[in-house]
């Protein structure tokens, strides 16, 4: 009979750690702060509130149930991170899926790494933590970058350091937000890739953007095909106009005489500057020899 897997237990209980003290801890200078801040502590789930700055608002229910079953069997392998609020209350910095999954199976406590942070730091931590995920769509990444610029006041260079990405990479994501909202939604729904989006960015006219977007969807165009289509739209090949040359009167008159003389439809082609060529068709060796004699 297989041995049951022992659940992991991380962190001491809050009451045991602080010995039921009523002292509030809101800064590193407060009494007992060293025992709490920067440590992993098992705290009541009911004492935790979710992060209002959480960039991700959708949590897949099926994936959440799978995580809940894993936690039920193995416990919390990686503690969540919370910030200390007034009293014995906390707010999630990262790990909301683990928090939700734990509540789903009826857990009353959860191990958490505790830290202090203000609202600005909370927003930055939530956005940066969100950017570390592997399954974000390009628009979700772009929106997180934009929020770091607008709300946290980070430059692209500072963001590059925070998220370990190059500045050009960040700029490429931000440019996706210039696309028509319908196209952005298509990217979020997986109908086209970031490569498609980058190709469409160079089209400033949104109606033309949407026309190409619809063509990508209906014809299942690859990124390379989309790039070629955009290139053709931006640099259409000039149409060659045929020169409307009038046949000089002396040639028109002579052509009629040639036809009567040779007994064939003789054609005269002009190349310009009174140059050209006369073509006399023949239909057999006998016909060729007949024309030959006429030219002698």
> What positions carry a catalytic annotation?
96
| Residues 6+ away with beta carbon under 8 Å from 41 | 11, 12, 13, 14, 17, 111, 112, 114
| Rounded CA separation 31/24 (Å) | 8
Under a CB-based contact definition with an 8 Å cutoff, are residues 143 and 55 in contact?
Answer: yes
Under a CB-based contact definition with an 8 Å cutoff, are residues 52 and 92 in contact?
Answer: no
Look at residues 143, 89, 131, 138 and name the one whose alpha carbon lies nearest to residue 114. Answer: 89
């Amino acid at each position: 009979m297989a041995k049951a897997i022992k659940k992991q237990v991380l962190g001491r209980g809050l009451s045991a750690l602080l010995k039921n003290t009523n002292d509030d801890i809101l800064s590193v200078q407060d009494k007992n702060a060293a025992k709490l801040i920067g440590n992993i502590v098992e705290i009541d789930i009911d004492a935790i509130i979710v992060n209002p700055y959480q960039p991700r608002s959708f949590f897949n229910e099926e994936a959440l149930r799978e995580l809940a079953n894993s936690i039920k069997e193995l416990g919390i392998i990686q503690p969540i991170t919370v910030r200390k609020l007034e009293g014995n209350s906390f707010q999630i910095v990262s790990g909301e899926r683990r928090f939700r999954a734990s509540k789903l199976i009826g857990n009353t406590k959860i191990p958490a790494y505790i830290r202090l942070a203000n609202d600005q730091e909370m927003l930055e931590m939530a956005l940066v933590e969100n950017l570390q995920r592997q399954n974000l769509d390009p628009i979700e990444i772009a929106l997180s970058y934009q929020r770091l610029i607008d709300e946290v006041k980070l430059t692209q260079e500072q963001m590059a350091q925070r998220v370990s990405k190059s500045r050009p990479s960040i700029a490429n994501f931000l440019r996706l937000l210039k696309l028509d909202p319908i196209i952005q939604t298509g990217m979020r729904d997986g109908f086209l890739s970031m490569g498609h989006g980058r190709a469409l960015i160079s089209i400033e006219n949104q109606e033309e953007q949407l026309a190409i977007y619809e063509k990508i969807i209906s014809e299942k165009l690859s990124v390379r095909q989309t790039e070629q289509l955009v290139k053709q739209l931006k640099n259409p090949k000039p149409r060659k106009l045929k020169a409307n040359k009038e046949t000089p009167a002396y040639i028109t008159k002579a052509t009629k005489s040639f036809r009567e003389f040779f007994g064939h439809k003789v054609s005269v082609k002009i190349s310009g500057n009174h140059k050209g060529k006369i073509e006399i068709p023949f239909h057999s060796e006998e016909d060729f020899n007949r024309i030959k004699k006429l030219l002698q």
